[in-house]
Structure 1
Amino acid sequence: MSITIRPFTLQDAPAIRQLYQRVSAESGGLARQPEEITEEYVHHFLTRSLDKGVGLVAERNGELVAEIHAYQAGLQIFAHVLGDLTVAIDVSAQGQGLGRRLFTELLSQTKARFPEVSRVELLVRESNTRAIALYEKLGFRQEGRFEGRVAGAQGLEADIPMAWHAPGPPDTT
């Protein structure tokens, strides 16, 4: 069963919402709870990503199994940043390299479509060590800790801000 990655469209909204509800039901799957995955929430990030960012879905046999998006904040001082990055991968598609493929494609499209973007940001809870390791392999760097920011089943934990920095132009000096 091959998995294909493509840009998302507004027509993907119902399937993305279902995916997010499934993933958020898993412990540590998403920051939001299933009841917080509303039509308005999905519509918001879809339209922002389509307007000022990158949004991708992964399909297996016509079923949506993953989604990733990031977008610009809309403020001039942050025009060089894509943020609000979220990735959701159905449990049935995890552990197969799909996260790496999604991030690689997101970064590739960012470089091609948004040459002004030199930074892609995300937050990850400290207990998600598997994700942190993947992000570091992809070139993201940890940039501090927000102590006690995430209230989880095990109590409060830190949110880790991470960023990928686009390679600069070659130094010609």
Structure 2
Amino acid sequence: MKKIILLGLAAVFFIACKQEVRYTQNSPEIDTYKKVMEDYKTMNWEDYPKHYADTAKVLNNVTKDKAKTVAQAIEQSQKDAELFTWVVEDDEYEMVVTDKGETWVNYWGLWKGTMKSTGKVYQIPFHNTARFIDGKIVREYGYWDNSEIVTDMLSKPETPTPTEETVTN
């Protein structure tokens, strides 16, 4: 009887150990995504693409038909760096394995950017999610609301009211 109970406990233990991790906050994929975010924060565009598959697609606030390559995403970030200085804070990471067996890393952060031309500071919460296959990112989605920046950039600066000095000159 003891042997049957021990055998039963051993079987339960073995089955419990074989369960796949479906959610975690510590994984090699999370470590890779932390490197991606560090490269973004420091504008290390040389190392940034090393974490992506050659065929990876980046979909930042766009649909699949407007997806960019990693090189195009870097080019956009470099253009952004001409307009802004930024920091990213409040990092949170998690990894999930879907019912289909897909591995995704989710990231949340707070982007704080200062527009170089005006000195105005923007604080924008954002979310990225990246699908991994064989340790590389194959698809990345980014979501944030940049409407305040767009509105400010599209609005025309107010024309100063003419003073007596400018009228007489």
TM-score (norm 2): 0.31
Larger Rg: 2
TM-score (norm 1): 0.30
Larger relative contact order (CA 8 Å, sep ≥ 6): 2
